[in-house]
Structure 1
C-alpha cells in the first residue's frame, strides 16, 4: 500500500469519526428529552429507577471528567456535558414526584461537584483517574441492569422512554467507532461496547412490554 493510499484512508476514517461525533453530540442535546417529557406528561416517575439514574449520572460524570483531564479531542466526549445536565433534571423530577426533593440533597450535590471538579482539573493522582474510568464500566452496566430488571420484573415500562434508550443505543455504537479511530482507549471501548448491548436490550424490552400492555387493554 502506497503512502497516498494510507493518507487517504486515514483522512476518510477521520472524516467518518467527525461526522459520527457531530451526530452523537446533536442526538445527546435532546436524548433525555423524551424521558423528561414522558415523566411530565405522566405526572410521575413510574418505572424509572432512581438508583439506575444516579449510577448513570456517576458514569457520565466520570467519562466527562476523564476525557477532559486526559486532553482528548473535545469532539470525542462533548456530549457528556448534555447527558450530565439532563440526568440531573431527571433526578430532580424523580425526587420531586416522590416528594423527596428537599435540602438534604444539597450536601450530596456539593460532594458530587467537588469530587468531579477535582477529576476534571487533574487534582488527583493518575491512578485514581484510571481506576475511576475502569469502574465506569461496572457502574454503567449496573445502572442499565437495574432498569432492565425492573422492567422485566414488573412487565411494565411505566414512563420509561423507548426513544431515549434507542438514541442511547445509537450514540454508544457511534462512540465505539469514534473511540477506536481517534483514541483507541481500551477501557473506554469496553464501556461503550457493553453499554451499546444493554441500551439495545432496554429499547427492545420497553417496546415489547409497552405493546403487551396495550394488547391487554383490548
Structure 2
C-alpha cells in the first residue's frame, strides 16, 4: 500500500513501505523485555519488604516475578546491582507522589500537612518502602545517602520558597536546612511508631493533628 513517509530532509514523499504489522514483533519483544525487567524489579521490592535485604535471594525474587532464575542476569549484573537501583527508583516514585499531592495546595502550613498525609498514603500503597529505606543505610549505603540528601535538598527548596512567600519569617536562611531534616526525621519516627507491619492500616488521625499543632504553634507561629 502507499503511505506518506519522510525523506532524509524531513519532506514528505510517497513510497511503498512495509505494512506496520511487519514491525510489530520487534516492538513486542522490546515491550516484553521491559515487562520482565519491571516484574523482577517489583518482585524484588516485595521480597525485600517482606524478608529484608539479607534474605532476599535471587531465587525468591525470580519465583515472585515468575521468571526463570537465569533470566535475572539478562537484566541485572548481580543481586547487589538490583538492590542499588531499588531505593532510588522507589524514592523517585515517592517524590512524584508527594509532589502531585501537594501541588494544588498554596498555603504554606496546609502544604506541610499535605506532605505528611501524602507520605503515609504512599506507605499504604507501597508498604515495602519503609523496610527498604530503613535497612538501606546498611545494605546500600551509597544509594541511601543519595536518597536522604536528595530529599533533604528538595525539602530545603520547598521551605525556601515558603519563606519567599512570606512564611517562616522567624527562621534565618541557614536555619531552614536543619528544619528540613527535622521534618524528614519526624516522618521516619512517626512511621516507625504508627505504621503497621504491612503498612495497610490507616495511621490514627491524632498523629496528623498532633503534627499540625506542632507546626502551627512552632514552625508557622510567626
- Bigger-Rg structure (1/2): 2
TM-score, reference length from structure 2: 0.32
Considering fraction of residues, name the structure with more helix.
Answer: 1
Considering fraction of residues, name the structure with more strand.
Answer: 2
TM-score, reference length from structure 1: 0.32
